Structure 1
Amino acid sequence: MAINDNILIKIRDMKDSLTPVERMVAEYILANMEEIPHLSIKNLAQLSKTSDASVLRFCKTLGYNGYRSFIVSISASLGSMDEEHKDQYTDIQPGDDLSVIISNIARNNSKSIEDTLSVIDRKEVARAVKALRASNRIVFFGIGASGLVCKDAEQKFSRINKMCHAYTDGHIQLTAATLLGKGDVAIFISNSGDTVEILETLEIAKKNGASIIAITKYNKSPLADKSDILLSISTPEVTIRSGAMGSRIAMLTVIDILFAGVASAEYQNVKKYLSKTHNILASKHRK
């Protein structure tokens, strides 16, 4: 589990991918966080209108061996959350004053990054950096807003002379995946984790022996299940498009982490590439 592990954030993000009965447990916990540490498994089962067995299954789905260790984690999460952190993401309402919009967007983006640090697994990040360092080439796959994150990743890794490319068109992704092989790393970026084009491309990349890294929302999804390395993000539950903004910011943060991890580990080799690319861009600006 992550160093800044917050099980309440994980429950919120995973809620929609749970079974109907497990979701009843999750919704009761999220609505009554403060009282949960004081409840026995039987109490929680009764209050959530489920059963002891259902609560135990829920705990195991979240990665706990039993109810007691789950409750300890809930208590720790409550203790680490100050009043500001307990606030929900703030949706943007039609007709909002511009100053309110500025404040809410900034807060939502900041919270998305904060919460992502609570769900991302540091060991998985280390495995991803190791795989990227050893790769023959790196390919990024994403559709829509996730495709923009892929383009950002391509620009970053190109600067340190990594052979890489971003593919954001569904048909071209299939072709690109067909040409992958052992030693290549394919990074799939999808908030939902169930984008059809992404999953079709993943199947081909996996079949051809590429290592699969997924950047996706913390939940049970086909993309999460089929990846070799899973990098989870946390995103806000809001309706107006600030939700897409939050997921994009979280994904960009993960890309920045991976890039910095690789560049730092190989700094003696890549500093000349960073210097060259900086100088050529600087010379263009002076003209």
Structure 2
Amino acid sequence: MSSLNEHDGPSPANLVATVRAVLPSLTPAAQAIARFILDDPGMVARSTITEFSAVSGTSEATIVRTARALGFAGYSQLRFALAAAVAHNTPERLVPGDLAPDDPLTDVIAKVTRAESQALADTAAQLSPDTLGAIVDAAVTARRIDVYGVGASGLVAVDMAQKLMRIGLSGHSYTDAHLALTGAALARPGDLIVGVSCTGETPDVILPVKLARDGGATTVAITNNPRSTLAALADHVLVSAGRETAFRPGALASRISQLLIVDCIFVGIAQRTFETSDAALRATRQALATYLGESRRRVK
């Protein structure tokens, strides 16, 4: 589920991504400290607790509580992990440059590419094979698979349902709260319900997931926040990553990483059901090829 470990904390490879993911669930004082970590992890790694207290304008006790909230035993362990993270990554990779209104398009291409590559890397670092395997197990035996999402996350829900349909599974996407609640009211044991929400606090996703869970369905959360309401409702949590900027709100910045998670689930299911999924893919590919061939002949 979450990548936090109460003894050792997040691994250096995904420490910054984990801090960003849990940021909304922290207290205001802890959020201020976390933003220092996100903005300049090297500075925090070099600072004693007294030095960091002076720089951040927070008490040493608050810093220790924040370190523990992030999964570490104390500030020393957080410093060591940050030092390892800085050594593991270049500063540009830790803090991708924000887009500015006057950036030339060459910089736009470079910065967007770097941000999306980092989102994918951060998401991959937090993906648990065990959690992914449990979701695949539930999917291959599910009576039906429903995916809920609205806005940018709704596009991810539609993508997942379309992929499931291509391999012959009963997958449905719901981007409307009324229809989602209608489907959730009919959920029962043996069904798999997937909720997609960047914040994990979208009522249009939370309410149907809760209703489906109450009906006995297995629930999955795809979210940036492993401590969100949606995550708490889910049997299995997969954490996506994406850094919000002025031109890329959190939901848009996270879409690419949510699609990565969906692709991993899809491939896992296709592997487990290779004979039927391969036959379904060939049949659907042939149907589309035939249609396109006939369309071209009609145009001529």
Normalised TM-score (structure 1): 0.88
Deviation at 1:249, TM superposition (A): 1.2
Q: Give the conservation status (yes or no) of the 8 Å contact 2:12–2:82.
A: no
Deviation at 1:41, TM superposition (A): 4.4
**Equivalent residue number for residue 216 of structure 2:** 209
RMSD of aligned residue pairs (Cα, Å): 2.4
SS of residue in 1 equivalent to 2:72: coil
**Equivalent residue number for residue 161 of structure 1:** 168
One-letter amino acid of the structure 2 residue matched with residue 267 of structure 1: F
Structure 2 residue 35 is matched with structure 1 residue 27: yes
Match for 1:85 among 93, 106, 111?
93
Which structure 2 residues correspond to residues 166-177 of structure 1 after superposition, within 5 A? Answer: 166-177=173-184
Structure 2 residue 276 is matched with structure 1 residue 276: no
Q: Give the conservation status (yes or no) of the 8 Å contact 1:215–1:232.
A: yes
Match for 1:178 among 182, 185, 190?
185
Structure 2 residue 241 is matched with structure 1 residue 234: yes
Which structure 2 residues correspond to residues 1-287 of structure 1 after superposition, within 5 A? Answer: 1=3, 5-91=13-99, 93=101, 96-241=103-248, 243-287=250-294
Deviation at 1:97, TM superposition (A): 4.2
Q: Give the 3 Å change call, closer, same or farther, for CA 275–82 of structure 1 in structure 2.
A: same
CA distance in 2, matches of 1:50, 1:3: 25
Instruction: Render the CA deviation track for 1:195-215: whole Å, top value 9, x for unaligned.
Output: 111111122111101111011
Percent identity over the alignment? 30
Question: Which is worse superposed, 99-108 or 151-160?
Answer: 99-108
Q: Give the 3 Å change call, closer, same or farther, for CA 92–223 of structure 1 in structure 2.
A: farther
CA distance in 1, matches of 2:233, 2:54: 35
CA distance in 1, matches of 2:75, 2:118: 29
Q: Give the conservation status (yes or no) of the 8 Å contact 1:92–1:242.
A: no
- Structure 2: give runs of 5+ residues left out of the alignment: 4-9, 295-300
SS of residue in 1 equivalent to 2:188: coil
CA distance in 1, matches of 2:12, 2:73: 20
SS of residue in 2 equivalent to 1:14: helix
Instruction: Render the CA deviation track for 1:173-199: whole Å, top value 9, x for unaligned.
Output: 110100000111100001111111111
CA distance in 2, matches of 1:254, 1:142: 14
One-letter amino acid of the structure 1 residue matched with residue 32 of structure 2: M
Q: Give the conservation status (yes or no) of the 8 Å contact 2:194–2:219.
A: yes
Deviation at 1:155, TM superposition (A): 0.9
Aligned length: 286
Q: Give the 3 Å change call, closer, same or farther, for CA 96–88 of structure 1 in structure 2.
A: closer
Instruction: Render the CA deviation track for 1:116-138: whole Å, top value 9, x for unaligned.
Output: 22333333222222222232211
SS of residue in 2 equivalent to 1:165: strand
Normalised TM-score (structure 2): 0.85
Question: Which is worse superposed, 269-278 or 175-184?
Answer: 269-278
Q: Give the conservation status (yes or no) of the 8 Å contact 1:128–1:213.
A: yes
Deviation at 1:45, TM superposition (A): 4.3
Deviation at 1:91, TM superposition (A): 2.3
SS of residue in 2 equivalent to 1:162: coil
One-letter amino acid of the structure 2 residue matched with residue 60 of structure 1: R
